[in-house]
Amino acid sequence: MIDFLAESYLWVKFLHVISVISWMAGLFYLPRLFVYHSEVVKKGSETDALFQVMERRLLRGIMNPAMIASWIFGLCMVMIPGLVDWSMLWPWSKAACVLAMTWFHMWLAARRKDFAAGNNTLSGRRYRMMNELPTLLMVVIVASVIVKF
């Protein structure tokens, strides 16, 4: 299996990058939908139902599969011997940020359920602030992988 992964490294890396780009797009867009949903949309309106459909489809149809694929292809790369030097800081900082990104994804999923139940208590301002988290995590992840500090 490890030989196959090593021989397929470029394809695995390609699939990992595509998955991460898709996941990040959702992590940037869903909180933005929540901003408008919380600030403009009246609970129980047709627009509320429309936002709920968009949020559910984004999360279930794009974000969840992209997150799972990112994890699978990332772990496949970790299993390739010699690719990751665990004595350096960068794989640990990347791993910590990926775990934080996964937590953020789950936090968004919980907020979507709040909207679906009509129980959202957070403001648009709070969603705007939380929308900055994936950007910060992305910067650390990319710096970790490219600069390998």
For the chain, the first-to-last Cα distance in angstroms comes to 30
pLDDT at 2: 74
pLDDT at 131: 95
Of the candidates 16, 11, 37, 15, the one whose C-alpha atom is nearest the C-alpha of residue 124 is 37
Model confidence pLDDT, tens digit, residues 100-139: 999 999 999 999 999 999 999 999 999 999 999 999 999 9
Model confidence pLDDT, tens digit, residues 83-94: 999 999 999 999
Q: How many domains does the chain have?
A: 1
Model confidence pLDDT, tens digit, residues 18-70: 999 999 999 999 999 999 999 999 999 999 999 999 999 999 999 999 999 99
pLDDT at 103: 98
Domain hosting 52: range is 2-147
Indicate left, alpha or beta for 122 from its phi (over 0: left) and psi (-120 to 50: alpha).
beta
Give the number of residues written for the chain.
149
CB-CB contact of 30 with 112 (8 Å): yes
